[in-house]
Amino acid sequence: MKVKIKRIDKSLPLPTYQTPGSVGFDIYSREDMEIKPREIALIPGNIIVETPPGYMLLVALRSSTPRKKGLIKPHGIGVIDNDYCGEEDEVKVQVYNNTDNMVKVEKGERIAQGIFVKVDRFDWDETDVMGKSRGGFGSTGTR
C-alpha cells in the first residue's frame, strides 16, 4: 500500500523500516533540541502523513530512547488520526525528560517509530444490565 507523505526538511531521509521484519518505521528529529530536566517537549518529526482510511498511525519511542536518553512518552503512545494530514499537521513526538540532566536531541536522530494500525468504528448498544464480573482490576490472571 502506498501512503502519501510530505517531508518538511528534505535534507532528512524519508522514514525507513530498518529490517525486513520491522513493524515500525523510524521517525527522525527535524531539529536540534535541548530538553530540560523534568520537562515535556514536542520533537518535530519532519513528516506529514496521510494515513489511509481505516488506519491510525501509532507513534512510540524507539526501544533504545528511554535507555540512551532518559526520555519517555508521558502517555505511552501517540495516536495520529487519519484526518490529521494538513499542511500544518507535522507528526510530533511528545517526550518527558525523566532525568535530572539536560537531554540533547540532534537533528536527524532517530527518536521514535511509527506503526500503521487497522481500526474499526463501532456503534453503541446501550443496556441497563451487564454480565457477571470476571474480577477486579488486574485480577484476570491466575496465581
CA–CA gap between residue 104 and residue 18 (Å, rounded): 23
Residues 34-45: pLDDT tens digits?
Answer: 999 999 999 999
DSSP 101: S
**pLDDT confidence tier of residue 76, bands split at 50, 70 and 90:** confident
Residue whose entry in the numeric block shows the C-alpha cell 505511552: 76
Per the prediction, the chain carries an average pLDDT of 93
The pLDDT of residue 138 is 64
Provide the pLDDT for residue 142.
58
Whether the predicted pLDDT of 7 surpasses 80: yes
Q: Write down the domain spans for the chain.
A: 4-118
Identify the three-state secondary structure at position 56. strand
- The reported pTM is 0.86
Cα separation, 60 vs 74, in Å, equals: 11
Q: Which CATH superfamily, name and number, covers 4-118?
A: Deoxyuridine triphosphatase (dUTPase) (2.70.40.10)
pLDDT in tens, 98-135: 999 999 999 999 999 999 999 999 999 999 999 888 76
Largest pairwise CA distance in the chain: 58
CA distances from 103 to 27, 33, 36, 109, 124 (A): 18, 8, 7, 13, 45
